[in-house]
Amino acid sequence: MDKITNQLAREFNISVKQVANTLSLVDEGCTIPFIARYRKEATGGLDDALLRDLNERLVYLRNLEAHREDIYRLIDEQGKMTEELKAEIEKAQTITELDDIYRPYRPKRRTKATIAKEKGLLPLAEVMWAQETTEEDVLTLAADFINPEADVNSAEDAIAYALDIIAEMISDDAQIRKYIREYTYRHGFIETKAAVDEPSVYDMYYDFSEAVNKIVPHRILAINRGERDKFLNVKISLDVEKLMGLLSRKVIAAQSKCPVFIQKALEDSYKRLIAPSIEREIRNMLTEKAEEQAIKVFGENLRNLLLQPPVRGCVVMGMDPAYRTGNKIAVVDETGKVLDTAVVYITLPNHDIEKGKEVIKGLIGKHKVRVIALGNGTASRESEMVVAQVCKELDGSVQYIIVNEAGASVYSASRLGTEEFPEYDVALRSAVSIARRLQDPLAELVKIDPKSIGVGQYQHDVNQKRLAETLQGIVEYCVNNVGVELNTASVSLLQYVSGISPSIAKNIVAYRETRGRFTSREQLLEVKMLGPKAFEQSAGFLRISDGDNILDNTGVHPESYDAVFRLFEVKGWAITDIGSESMRIKLDEVSKSKLDELAGSLGIGLPTLKDILNELKKPGRDPRDELPKPVLRSDVLELKDLKPDMLLTGTVRNVTDFGVFVDIGVHQDGLVHISNLSEKYVKHPMEVVQVGDIVKVRVLDVDVERKRISLSMKDIR
For residue 472, give the 3-state DSSP assignment: helix
**Dist CA 484 CA 620 (whole Å):** 10
Domains of the chain: total: 5
Q: Which residues contact 472 (CB under 8 A, 6 or more apart)?
A: none
Same domain, residue pair 424 and 512: no
Burial of 546 (0-12, 13-18, 19+ CB in 10 A): exposed
**Dist CA 678 CA 428 (whole Å):** 43
Evaluate whether 609 touches 564 at the Cβ level (below 8 Å): no
What pLDDT does 636 receive? 65
Residue 285 belongs to a domain: yes
- Alpha-helix runs per DSSP H in 377-531: 380-393, 408-412, 415-420, 426-439, 441-445, 464-482, 491-494, 502-515
Domain holding 594: CATH number?
1.10.150.310
Same domain, residue pair 698 and 553: no
**Dist CA 290 CA 499 (whole Å):** 32
In this predicted structure, the answer to whether residue 454 has a pLDDT above a threshold of 80 is no
CA atoms within 13 A on the CB side of 111: 20
What are the C-alpha distances in Å from 468 to residues 422, 479, 642? Answer: 29, 16, 39
What pLDDT does 155 receive? 94
Residue 8 belongs to a domain: yes
Burial of 270 (0-12, 13-18, 19+ CB in 10 A): buried
CA atoms within 13 A on the CB side of 653: 21
Residue 289 belongs to a domain: yes
Query: For 307-343, how does the pLDDT look when each residue is reduced to its tens digit (9 = 90+)?
Result: 888 888 899 999 999 898 899 999 999 989 999 999 9
What pLDDT does 452 receive? 79
Residue 237 neighbours by CB distance under 10 Å: 14
Single-letter code of the amino acid located at 597:
E
Same domain, residue pair 668 and 536: no
Single-letter code of the amino acid located at 706:
R
Same domain, residue pair 271 and 141: yes
Domain holding 652: CATH number?
2.40.50.140
- Where is 52: in which H helix or E strand? helix 48-77
For 537-570, what is the HEC assignment? HHHHHEECCCCCCHHHHCCCCHHHHHHHHHHHHH
Evaluate whether 221 touches 294 at the Cβ level (below 8 Å): yes
Query: How large is the average pLDDT for residues 619-628?
Result: 81
Same domain, residue pair 94 and 141: no
Residue 677 belongs to a domain: yes
Evaluate whether 346 touches 320 at the Cβ level (below 8 Å): no
Residue 304 belongs to a domain: no
Residue 527 structural domain = 502-626
Same domain, residue pair 214 and 234: yes
- Across-strand partners of 697? 648
What pLDDT does 136 receive? 93
Domain holding 163: CATH number?
1.10.3500.10
Same domain, residue pair 95 and 118: no
Rg (Cα) of the chain, in Å, rounded? Answer: 33
**pLDDT band of 249, cuts 50, 70, 90:** very high
**pLDDT band of 717, cuts 50, 70, 90:** low
What pLDDT does 1 receive? 61
According to DSSP, the β-strands at 315-320 and 369-375 are parallel
Same domain, residue pair 566 and 589: yes
Query: Longest Cα pair distance anywhere in the chain, in angstroms?
Result: 105
Same domain, residue pair 321 and 415: yes
Residue 340 belongs to a domain: yes
Evaluate whether 691 touches 653 at the Cβ level (below 8 Å): yes
Q: Which long-range contacts (CB under 8 A, 24 or more apart) does 674-680 make?
A: 676/700, 676/710, 676/711, 676/712, 676/713, 676/714, 677/713, 677/714, 678/713, 678/714, 679/714, 679/715
Mean per-residue pLDDT of the chain: 91
Same domain, residue pair 156 and 89: no
At how many degrees (to 10) do helices 275-306 and 174-187 cross?
A: 60
What pLDDT does 397 receive? 87
What pLDDT does 411 receive? 84
Strand arrangement of the beta sheet that strand 338-344 belongs to: 338-344, 327-332, 315-320, 369-375, 399-403
In this predicted structure, the answer to whether residue 455 has a pLDDT above a threshold of 80 is no
Residue 448 belongs to a domain: no
Residue 467 belongs to a domain: no
